[in-house]
Amino acid sequence: MGSEDAVWVFGYGSIIWKPNFTYKRRIKGYIVGYVRRFWQRDSVHRGTPDKPGRVATLVKDETACSKVWGLAYLVSKESMESVLLQLDDREKGYLRVMEDFYPSDYQYDDVSCCPLQVYVYVSSSDDVNYAGPLELDKIAECILLAEGRSGRNTEYVFRLADSMRLIAPREQDEHLFSLETKVLDKLFKMSTWVFGYGSLLWNVGFPYDERCTGYIKGYARRFWQGSPDHSGTPEKPGRVVTLVRDVDDSDKEDLLVWGVAYLLPTNETEKILSQLDYRERCGYVQTEQTFYPADKTKESFSVLAYVSQPDNPHFLGPAPLDEMARQIATAQGMTRRNFEYLFKLAEAMRDLAPSVPDDHLYALESKVKEVLNELQTAHTI
């Protein structure tokens, strides 16, 4: 189809995964004489005027190997005026220029002429949002802090990198992939993970970006913390788990507590930690621990774990199994009956780490079931 009948539009940034216009077809390929660079500020879609993000633009490069891969969209004659007006508005700060587009080799026989003439949006160095070259490390820092109408700036980088791996898996976009690596490294270093080993396993209660199964070392999970609110009352507290080091039945070197680490969204970390501080207010404090993922290909990393201290007023400490079971079987708080907490935790651990023993948890589960059966029988009689 010739240019008198339709137009082609080349996407090399967000247009790849979010064209937001009607098109008849799209094909993979590249344009030459440019390189893709994150040299354009964005204070609307991926940033704000106070914290502008960085998005891709094309920069002239006359070296022989310079090419930029992306997608060309065929827009019909009937739609082209409205589509171009829409894109002109979307790409404010960018100039619409015409360039040659080379479809992927296997598609040459499917296109009437090659190269194709395509419209491309390229920012001008005169534009107020043109930032120009900057150290990759500095660009990554800008991207980490930015979020706009269309989402976090980091998401833009990751989606573009993923898209390019699909479109041109054998091509290297050194600037894009190096920037992706920088952002990932910085994101990991500044990220906050929270370790769940109790009710956080089935009742997270906050958004998270990622979860990872694994364990921490040097602790045992014990029902030694009193619950005067969620699983009991001040007069009749329930028992919930905490992490303890002083146990007689194991060598500290062999102690492991399995659970889940949750990666908190960067822009909500402070809010979520405040919520958790309130949720764990009856005796728990934040501690930093080393978390070991179940996937051995992943390295260990730091997590925050809420642990009660023995000197807090709600700490109950050890007791005979029968005594703890009867207390759990009969306590009830504003959130649940205490035995429901125990059963849900046991169920969660069987799903999470079915081959990992947790003698204290499962022995207590069995004993509480016995007590409940006794109470049910006595009530029936």
Q: Which residues contact 377 (CB under 8 A, 6 or more apart)?
A: none
Buried b (16+ CB within 10 A) or exposed e, 131-151: beeeeeeebbbbbbbbbbebe
The C-alpha angle with vertex 16 and arms to 175 and 190, in degrees rounded to 5, equals: 50
Q: How far apart are CA 323 and CA 319, in angstroms?
A: 7
Residue among 91, 99, 180, 280 flagged as catalytic: 280
Q: How far apart are CA 256 and CA 217, in angstroms?
A: 5
Q: How far apart are CA 314 and CA 381, in angstroms?
A: 36
- Reply yes or no on whether 280 is catalytic: yes
Pairing of strands 25-32, 94-103: antiparallel
CA dihedral sign, ordered 88, 89, 91, 94? positive
Q: How far apart are CA 72 and CA 99, in angstroms?
A: 11
- Residue 349 β-bridge partners: none
CA distance readout (Å), 179 to 76, 162, 176: 36, 13, 5
Q: Which residues contact 349 (CB under 8 A, 6 or more apart)?
A: 201, 258, 356, 358, 361
Q: How far apart are CA 45 and CA 53, in angstroms?
A: 8
What the block records as the tokens of 253 is 């070197």
- Residue 369 β-bridge partners: none
* Coil, strand or helix at 121: strand
Yes or no: say if 348 and 309 are a contact pair by the CB < 8 Å rule. Answer: no
**What is the chain's alpha carbon radius of gyration, rounded to the nearest angstrom?**
29
Q: Mind telling me the catalytic residues?
A: 280
